[in-house]
Amino acid sequence: MKQFNMFIDGQSINMSSKLDIINPATGQAFAQCPNGTPANVDNAVSSARRAFKLWGQTSSEERKQKIHQLADTIEANMPELMTLITQETGKPINGLSGVGSGMEVGGAIAWTRSTAELDIPIDVIQDNEDARIEVHRKPLGVVASITPWNWPLMIAIWHVIPALKAGNTVVIKPSELTPLATIRFVELANEILPHGVLNIVTGGSAVGTALCAHSGVDKIVFTGSTATGKKVMQMASATLKRLTLELGGNDAGIVLADVDIRSTAKKLFDACFHNNGQTCAALKRLYVHESIFDDVCDEMARLAREVNVGNGEQEDTELGPIQNAQQLNIVMDLAADAKLNGGHFLTGGRKIIGAGYFFEPTIVTGLTDGSRLVDEEPFGPILPIIKYTDIEEVIARANRNQSGLGGSVWSKDIAKATHIASRLECGSVWVNTHGALQPNAPFGGIKQSGFGIEFGLQGLAEFTSIQTIKINK
C-alpha cells in the first residue's frame, strides 16, 4: 500500500498512526497517510510564522515567478495527479462532458497562472499641496486552508495560490477522505518555495479544530458544509481571525417556456450531474414551465438512462461513484423520503449493486418546495424537477431556500432571462449555463452559503489588510 507523508518546514513527516484512504469505486483502502495531531499543527504554524518574516517581504514580481513555477510543476506532473484524484475521489479521468480529473488538474494550472498575474495597486486617494494619502494592501500572516473532498486539488489551489501571491504563508488541512493529490502538490511545491511557506497537516477533526483555534493563524479559508462552517466561525472568534467561508449550495435553475428542449436538456443534465452532483455550485433544483415540463423531463430521463456509470479509471466512464459511504447514505435517505412523499422516479433511486459507492442517476418529479429533496442539498446524482406556472411565483420559490450560492435562468430571450437572473438571491447567477466558474470572475455565497469572495482581484484582496498612509506636506 502506497504511503504519503505530511510536509512541515520543508521536511517530510511520517507518523505511526495512519489514515486509510479508500477508493470509492472499490470500497477498499489503496493508500495511507499520517493521522496528524495538534502538536503537528503547532509545528506547522510555527514554521509558517517564521517563513512569513521573509516571504511577506518579497516583491509581488518574485512571488509571481515562483507561482508560475508551481503551475509548471503541476503541468509536468499532470498524469500522476489525475490518477490520484480519480483513485481518491472516484471522479472519472475524462468525465461527463469533460468534467473529470483531467479538468480538475487543468483548472488548477489555469487558476495558478491567472492568479500569479494579479496585483493590487497602491490606491492614491489624495495628492495635493496639503497631503498625499495612499491605501496599501499588506499580507495578513499565516493562512489556514481547510478543503473538502469533492474537488481536493482544485479547491486547494483556490485557497493556497492567492494567499501566497498576497505574501502570506499557509498551513493546509485537506479532507481526511481525499488528501493524496494535495499532499503530492505540497511536496512538489516545497521543491520551489522556501521552507515553511506551504505546510500540510493531514488528519481528522482534531487537526481542523487545532488549526481553527490556533492563536498563530491570522485567517481561515474553509470550503465545506454550512454546519461545519458555523463551527469554524465560532472557533475563529476567539482571536478575531479573518474568514472566507464557501459553504453548501442548493442552486435553483429556472427554465422558461421558449427554450430549445433537446439542446437545453443536455446542458441542464451536465450542470446537474457533473462530478455526480458533488459540486457546491451544481444545479440542484430545476424549475420548468408547465408548457414544456413533460418534454424536458422525458429528455432528462433519457440522458440519465444513457449516461455511462463506472470506475473512473476507465476512459469512457462519465459518472463515477459517490465519494464516501456517509454521503451515499445521505442520498439514499433523501431518495427514500421522496418516495414516501409522492415523488415519481423517472429513473434511478437505488444504490447500484456491487463493490463501491455507486448510485443510479436519478430524476424525480411530483415534489415541490417543502420536500426534503427540494429543500436540502443532496450532493449526489439525484435531481428534483419541479413544475411552475407563474414567473413571479417561481422566483419567490427559488429565493425562499436558505442557501444562496448560485442560480441560473434558461431562455432564448437573453434580456428577459438576465432581468430574472438579477432578482435571484445568490452570489453568482448564470444565463443559459450553470456553474461556469473562471479565475477572473468573483465567486462567493450569501445567506447560509457563507461569505467572502474568491477569484480575481476581489478574491486576492481577501488575503490582505488595508494600511492607510497619510503624508503631510
E-only strand ranges, 369-424: 382-388, 403-404, 406-410
Q: pLDDT tens-digit profile of 197-213?
A: 999 999 999 999 999 99
Task: Write down the pLDDT at residue 119.
Answer: 96
Instruction: State the pLDDT at residue 38.
Output: 98
Question: What pLDDT sits at residue 41?
Answer: 98
Q: What pLDDT score was predicted for residue 148?
A: 98
pLDDT, tens digit (0-9, with 9 covering 90-100), for 227-268: 999 999 999 999 999 999 999 999 999 999 999 999 999 999
The predicted structure's pLDDT at residue 235: 97
For 327, the grid coordinates are 454521503
* Distance of alpha carbon 220 from alpha carbon 152, whole angstroms: 17
Taking residue 318's Cβ as centre, other Cβ atoms within 10 Å add up to: 23
Neighbours of 326 (CB within 10 A): 10
**pLDDT tens-digit readout, 299-343:** 999 999 999 999 999 999 999 999 999 999 999 999 999 999 999
Domain 2-247+449-472 has CATH 3.40.605.10: yes
Predicted local distance difference test score (pLDDT) of residue 36: 98
Domain boundaries, given as residue ranges, for the chain: 2-247+449-472, 251-438
Alpha-carbon span 199 to 10, nearest angstrom = 7
Active site positions, annotated: 246, 280
Residue-wise pLDDT for 278-287, tens only, equals 999 999 999 9
Name the CATH superfamily housing domain 251-438. Answer: Aldehyde Dehydrogenase; Chain A, domain 2 (3.40.309.10)
CA-wise closest residue to 164 among 467, 464, 443? 464
CA 457 distance to own-chain centroid: 19
Q: Do residues 454 and 438 lie in contact, with contact meaning Cβ atoms separated by under 8 Å?
A: no
Q: In this predicted structure, what is the pLDDT of residue 78?
A: 98
User: What span, in angstroms and rounded, lies between the C-alpha atoms of 272 and 285?
Assistant: 9
Calpha distance 60→167 (Å, rounded): 8
- Kindly state the helix (H) or strand (E) to which residue 378 belongs, with its residue range: none
User: What gap in Å lies between CA 473 and CA 460, rounded to an integer?
Assistant: 32
Closest CA to 251 of 227, 274, 221, 222: 274
How many Cβ atoms from other residues are within 10 Å of residue 204's Cβ? 14
Q: What is the pLDDT of residue 206?
A: 97
- Return the H-helix or E-strand segment holding 21: strand 18-23
Q: Which residues of the chain have pLDDT under 50?
A: none
